[in-house]
Chain A
Amino acid sequence: MNHDAYPDNYIRGILNSVKSIAMVGASPVNVRPSYFAFKYLAQRGYDMIPVNPGHIGKELLGKPFVASLHDIGRPVDMIDIFRNSSHIMPVVEEALKLDPLPKVIWMQLGARDDAAAEKAEAAGIKVVMNRCPKIEYGRLSSEISWMGVNSRTLSSKRPPAPTQGMQLSLNRMSVGGGNTAAADRAAKNKTEQS
């Protein structure tokens, strides 16, 4: 996979197929991006599992925290890693010990570890780096267009009427390959510099 520019179909396929998501580094603090993303994805119907050893005994939106991926004790489809790039590898190594393996490992906006991605992909796991699943869901459903964001999708079809919790269809035609060319170039330059 070219991790500088994901095709929309790749992201759409992941968001349409995974049911359970373990969020590593989920925070109970309601101004943290991980909290927003956790809440948003839970509202869209994903089975969310908060993973953070610092909050054992607490709950996040009714879901009990677990200390590690190992402690989940049941299969998960996707691991969403809310940690800096330097903390990615140990989480991926832990994920590779799970049985069954997760189908997807997703690293949050700003997080990228190409060596860890290679390891996961070698085990047949799909990898997304430096993206936010909340933003991608909002973009592919065009919900994010309400914020003036370029969804890079077009549709002449009448979308489902929005209801509480906004269950929108992800099945819109993609036009831009997931991100704008300029933004991809900037992300690539930043990776090369660091």
Chain B
Amino acid sequence: MSDRLPGFSTLAVHAGAQPDPTTGARATPIYQTTSFVFNDADHAASLFGLQSFGNIYTRIGNPTNAVLEERVAALEGGTAALAVASGHAAQVVVMQQLLQPGDEFIAARKLYGGSINQFTHSFKSFGWNVVWADPDDIASFERAVTPRTKAIFVESIANPGGSITDIEAISTVARKAGVPLIVDNTLATPYLIKPIDHGADIVVHSLTKFLGGHGNSIGGVIVDAGTFDWSKDGKYPMLSEPRPEYHGIKLHETFGNFAFAIACRVLGLRDLGPALSPFNAFLILTGIETLPLRMQKHCDNAKAIAEFLSGHSAVASVSYAGLAGDRYNQLARKYAPKGAGAVFTFSLKGGYDAGVSLVSKLTLFSHLANVGDTRSLVIHPASTTHSQLDDAAKVKSGAGPDVVRLSIGIEDKEDLIADLDQALGA
């Protein structure tokens, strides 16, 4: 019974799960129920008042989802986590705890197109103002800090170009500014990069991608690193001030180093409502059990394909941090030594038309708007995921008109290379 930190693969299989106490079921049961009975009126009152741990209603928490939450928290090295309906829901719930109307947050310009869209347009209607900075220029984050800045948001491996973010450098800026650093770790997963080890205070994921890994369930998660002092200067009243909806409880004072995850649950999930279905949680949990095996195969395949493409006469350039000559290769060696992920872009000498032709000729790669599936995927970001951006913003986010994005699956790499070769050659 000594304290021994198990390896990543052991946590991926075991963390958060145990045999079901009533039935002995070894796989995590799908608790497909909306509600949970109370023992008595006093029990109900203490659950509603946050005085007891327990289940009330699946919009606020569910035992299947709780296993998923603890597992992701364990894999990321966080104190707690909250599962939500999607990666986008995770971002809304996080920002609701941090920003009041009129506040600002700084975000890296290189982000998933859907996040750029959410931050630019939807968040504006909440009075949350995004200020963009360049992840390749750390000083641009420092310059963007104002007294209204409440958070900094980056992706560990940025979509779509697969560039690697210098999380430690940006966490230094965040610490100096007295704001939490939020890292979207979707494309890396904790198997490749553990942002909390590099100074992240909050980690978010789209579980839809590599964590779930099979392209069958939408989900998101928020991980609390337990590192930020929410009560230091009154900048985060959702955590430091008495909450009228809970009889004046102060969440940080009551829940200590997992107060942020609790705030996301009892203020965010409860009131905004983006609950994850327990069935999706079950599928994602099953996916996570094989994350280390899949992720290594994804990365090994991606590197082989990036090398093949960079030697192909029809290809103008390949943007993959795992390649020796790539501008992000040094950062990849530091942050993601096991592999630089499996999502990257390349551009074709034939420009936009060649990209469209390639996509139509591929037979194994599926043309769709997702990444992180067992299957290999291809998309033309300029006309799809990043289509709502103007041309300058497309180029800045790594999604210019000649760019094709690949998400490499876990098929045999020889078959993927043959498919690309025939589609590029003809």
Contact = CB atoms under 8 A, between A and B. Distances in A.
A122 interface: no
**Which range contains the number of A residues in contact with the other chain?**
35 or more
B4 interface: yes
Interface in B212-250: 225-229, 242, 246-249
Interface string A87-130: 00000000000000000000001100000000000000000000
A20 B264 CA distance: 35
Contacts of A135: 255-256
**Which range contains the number of B residues in contact with the other chain?**
35 or more
Interface in B253-298: 253-258, 261-262, 265
B197 interface: yes
Interface stretch (B14-22, B119-127, B332-340, B377-385): B14-22
Interface string B1-21: 111111000110011101111
B63 A36 contact: no
A156 B49 CA distance: 32
B18 A149 contact: no
A142 B18 contact: yes
B196 interface: yes
Given A132-B256, A135-B256, A147-B265, A185 B227 contact: yes
Contacts of A30: 49, 51, 247
Nearest to B231: A110
Contacts of B228: 186
Contacts of A152: 74
Interface of B: 1-6, 10-11, 14-16, 18-22, 24, 39-40, 43, 46, 49-55, 61, 63, 65-67, 69-70, 73-74, 77-83, 196-197, 225-229, 242, 246-249, 253-258, 261-262, 265
8 contacts: A145-B16, A146-B61, A149-B261, A158-B24, A173-B1, A180-B196, A182-B225, A183-B226
Given A147-B265, A158-B24, 11 more contacts: A31-B247, A148-B65, A148-B70, A148-B82, A149-B79, A154-B15, A160-B21, A161-B21, A180-B78, A183-B79, A183-B226
The 5 closest A-B pairs by CB, nearest first: A148-B69, A183-B226, A150-B73, A186-B227, A158-B19
